[in-house]
Amino acid sequence: MYADGIRRFVEDRDGLALAGATTSIPNALRQIPQCCPDVVLVDRLLDDSVSLVRRIRVDIAPEAKIIVLAVPGFETEIEPFLRAGVDALIHPEEGLERLGLHIEAAVRGDALLSPQMAGMTLRSCQRPDNDSAALYAERGLTPSEYRSGRREHRSSRLPRIPA
């Protein structure tokens, strides 16, 4: 039903044409090179969808824009897709109209993220190797201190160097 809704949406939208659709990674790996799509939509719920994104980006269609659907707003879910080379991530609660905006943005070379997804993406990128303990330690805080609002400016804790 989900795939049918997306298929109807793409077919009904001016300026978009459906080049192919499949629910399996082996079929996708065969179809994508034959279709030469501008945009590839990948369902996060496919087995090994991160590897599929990486293969599309590196081997199959490096120029295609890759949009991953149904990505929950968890940093552990976002980061692997970012590292694999995804162009946009769509939260499960975003509707079809937002999908159209994501596709249009991707074709222009832009990324469109919901505020929730943008926040998660930024937080994921701010952590060295996604290590939250290192982020807090670098700021001289415990995770609970950071969450509770003790966020004094880091420069106020740096030693002063006489001139």
Residues 6+ apart with CB under 8 A from 126: 135
Number of domains in the chain: 2
Same domain, 93 and 25: yes
Same domain, 34 and 104: yes
Residues 6+ apart with CB under 8 A from 137: none
Q: Of 34, 51, 49, 41, which is closest to residue 16 (Cα–Cα)? A: 41
Read off the pLDDT band of 1 (50, 70, 90): very low
Read off the pLDDT band of 152 (50, 70, 90): very low
Res. 131: pLDDT tops 50: yes
Read off the pLDDT band of 155 (50, 70, 90): very low
Looking at every residue in the chain, the average pLDDT score rounds to 77
Q: Round to the nearest angstrom and report the end-to-end CA distance of the chain.
A: 69
Q: Of 93, 67, 81, 65, which is closest to residue 124 (Cα–Cα)? A: 81
Same domain, 80 and 145: no
Q: Of 71, 13, 74, 12, which is closest to residue 41 (Cα–Cα)? A: 71
Same domain, 85 and 33: yes
Q: What is the residue type of 12?
A: D
What CATH number has the domain bearing residue 13? Answer: 3.40.50.2300
Residue ranges making up the domain that contains 142: 132-163
